[in-house]
Amino acid sequence: MPRLDAVAVTTTNMAKSVAFYEMLGFTFGDWGAEDQHVEPVVEDGEVRLMIDTAELLEKFTGARPTPPNHSSFAMRCDDPAEVDAIAARMSQAGYALTVAPWDAFWGQRYATVVDPDGYQIDLFAPL
């Protein structure tokens, strides 16, 4: 049976995207501003995050993608306090929160932050 291996986002500015995802807690190995594909370091078996430039994807598809494509993904935090801390750190750094931290009726502390290309990243932790 196939399994989910990676989530991909498209960027128009690799340096801004890497800075955003580093602030969320991802660690990147060696990369350069001219790289068209980067991935943070993950443990074996973890779902990978792939960041590709619009230029690279245009080479594959023949059409330039326009981020965001209404995709999002969610990051599970250790506890509700971590949701609040990450949301505060991202907001203080100038990133937009489309959903401020709140106790959602489905039993999670929940917030949404927007990356430099408009992708919505959900942060959550069980209450």
Pick the CATH number of 6-61 from 3.10.180.10, 3.40.50.300, 3.30.830.10, 3.40.50.1010: 3.10.180.10
pLDDT of residue 70: 63
Burial tier of 122 (Cβ tally within 10 Å: 0-12, 13-18, 19+): middle
- What is the C-alpha separation between 31 and 28, in angstroms, rounded? 7
6-39 burial, b for 16+ CB within 10 Å, e for fewer? eeebbbbebeebbebbeebebebeeeeeebeebb
pLDDT values of the chain reduced to their tens digit, one per residue, 127 residues: 878 899 999 999 999 999 999 999 999 999 998 999 999 999 988 999 999 999 998 888 888 887 666 678 899 999 999 999 999 999 999 999 999 999 999 999 999 999 999 999 999 999 9
> Domain boundaries in the chain?
6-61, 72-126
Q: Looking at the domain 72-126, which fold is it?
A: 2,3-Dihydroxybiphenyl 1,2-Dioxygenase; domain 1 (3.10.180)
pTM over 0.85: yes
Q: Which two tokens stand for residue 96?
A: 């937009």
pLDDT of residue 62: 86
